[in-house]
Homo-oligomer: A and B are copies of this chain.
Amino acid sequence: MLAYQKLTEHYKNISHFSHLASICHWDQATMMPSGGNDARASAMAALSVHLHQLSTDKNLEAFFQNAKSENLNVEETANLLEMKRAFDLATVLPEKHVKEKSLAGSRCEHAWRTQRQNNDWAGFCENFKTVVALSKEEAQIRADASGLSPYDAMLDIYEPGMTCEKLDLLFSDLKAWLPELTQKVQEKQSKEFYLRPNEIYKTTQQNELGLSVMAYLGFDFNHGRLDISTHPFCGGVNTDVRITTRYDEADFVQSLMGIIHETGHARYEQGLPCHFSSLPAGQARSMGMHESQSLFFEMQLGRSQGFIQTLSPLACAHFPHNDPDVFKTENLQKIYTRVQPGLIRVDADELTYPAHIMLRYEIERDLINGKITYKDIPELWDLKMKEYLNMDTQGNFKNGCMQDIHWCDGSFGYFPSYTLGAMYAAQFMATIKKAMDVDDLIRSGDLTPVFNWLDTNIWKKGSLLTTDALVMQATGEILNPAYFKKHLIDRYL
């Protein structure tokens, strides 16, 4: 057998155990009674150990060496690169470091759940300083192995090929026009009146509306399902994608758009290339690309006027006993495009969201590259919130620098993915609009041509191309933030 074949068998075996991990993780978040948690945690830990052993199997080194000289086609070569990338990411850290960081992360995250409620920054720092130290150590090890800077090496985990140099350019551009645009839009919207949802919207009806919208968006229910969890996510495996939402009976707005967002993630997974299913080249390209699909569905499609025109009668029909004026197109449109700077990232609107990301990016970049320490975070947070969103967060750690889970376990380098996703999504939509009349398709009720474009240009590419090559093939240029700017101006001004 060729070394390449031996490698693919090994990575297929890994994917089988990842499959079990995904399903059991989904079960934990949606189905498991709380008393089952301890035994489940132990079972999941045993599975992690097994997966780590498989991922760092020293025997693979010789296969990687031999596979290089084997006669592989373009796709096999891409798959070999991705397998090697996965192997390097897994093996570069000493096992001792992996365990220490995992333990420190769990400890910090567990305590954070209470400390955040108590606005207890000092208490949080007791654990957080270890997480930061271990993350800096990790970044340095990855930097030494890759030749990248420490923070770039962390970025590369989530967004291969992305660097501070590129991000600084993107964000300095954003910084130049976003605060002013936000202010203008706020002024404009301050004169607008609209009806807020102010009734009971039953969970069963919200659920049925969600399922209708998923069907309209082409979610394949033969390969996935919708359930409820405290924190919405898209999980499972690409042949069986499990998306979740949470319902607030006082407000249908969040859960409905949340379902549309997760449906974007889900269609990417469901559309990944079958012939590389369960192999690294058949996985989603990056976290930013994944977010581009959820934001394409939520922002580019979901909040567009045409889509809301379709949504309006559907929502009316599912809530026959609620005030129909709330669901009128113009009103829904205003609900879904309202701009209001706030302290909390996850509650932010499309326009102010990137400010939350810039702020976090700048802080974590300097923290990992050693220009600041964790002690400087609150002051920097306050300064930047003032500068970007004109908000005061002094002393408010709870809804300031302690609001996110990402830093608790040392996931430094993840945040930029959100805004990269928004930018990719705008660029994809701009390209699609050159080829077809999207508003017309939405009005016709059949978005198939749009989904076909995504399927051909994004989903079916898996990780067979680099991100730059994928974006170039799809849109004729690499990431260009001008499309995002134009999209925001067109929609909000």
| B17 & A240 in contact (Cβ 8 Å cutoff) | no
| Cβ contacts under 8 Å, A239 to chain B | 35-36, 38-40
Query: Which stretch (A26-34, A69-77, A390-398, A411-419) binds chain B?
Result: A26-34
| B225 & A39 in contact (Cβ 8 Å cutoff) | no
Alpha-carbon gap, A43 to B21, bound state (A): 10
Tell me the nearest residue of chain B to A278, going by C-beta: B39
| B27 & A42 in contact (Cβ 8 Å cutoff) | no
| A35 & B220 in contact (Cβ 8 Å cutoff) | yes
Interface presence of A493 (CB below 8 A): no
Alpha-carbon gap, A27 to B221, bound state (A): 16
Tell me the nearest residue of chain B to A19, going by C-beta: B43
| Cβ contacts under 8 Å, A58 to chain B | none
Interface presence of A13 (CB below 8 A): yes
| B222 & A277 in contact (Cβ 8 Å cutoff) | no
Alpha-carbon gap, A32 to B356, bound state (A): 37
Closest CB in chain B relative to A415 CB, distance in Å:
32
| A240 & B19 in contact (Cβ 8 Å cutoff) | no
Which listed residue (B13, B24, B221) contacts A20, Cβ 8 A?
A: B24
Interface presence of A224 (CB below 8 A): yes
Chain A count of residues within 8 A CB distance of the other chain: 35
Closest CB in chain B relative to A19 CB, distance in Å:
4
Question: Contacts A38-B239, A239-B36, A239-B38 known; A43 to B20 CB distance under 8 Å?
Answer: yes
| B20 & A240 in contact (Cβ 8 Å cutoff) | no
Which listed residue (B23, B36, B42) contacts A240, Cβ 8 A?
A: B36
| Cβ contacts under 8 Å, A45 to chain B | 16
Alpha-carbon gap, A110 to B71, bound state (A): 40
Greatest chain B CB density within 10 A among A17, A32, A33 is at: A33
Alpha-carbon gap, A46 to B45, bound state (A): 18
Alpha-carbon gap, A129 to B348, bound state (A): 66
Closest CB in chain B relative to A226 CB, distance in Å:
11
Closest CB in chain B relative to A362 CB, distance in Å:
41
> What are 30 A-to-B residue pairs whose CB atoms are below 8 Å?
A16-B43, A16-B45, A16-B46, A16-B47, A17-B43, A17-B46, A17-B47, A19-B40, A20-B43, A20-B47, A23-B23, A23-B40, A24-B24, A27-B27, A31-B225, A33-B222, A33-B225, A33-B240, A34-B222, A35-B223, A36-B224, A36-B236, A36-B239, A36-B240, A38-B239, A39-B239, A39-B240, A39-B277, A39-B278, A40-B240
Extra 14 A-B pairs, beta carbons < 8 Å, given A16-B45, A20-B24, A20-B43: A16-B42, A16-B43, A17-B47, A19-B39, A19-B43, A32-B240, A33-B221, A33-B223, A36-B236, A36-B237, A39-B237, A39-B239, A40-B240, A42-B278
Chain A residues packing against B (C-beta within 8 Å) = 13, 16-17, 19-20, 23-24, 27, 31-36, 38-40, 42-43, 45-47, 50, 220-225, 236-237, 239-240, 277-278
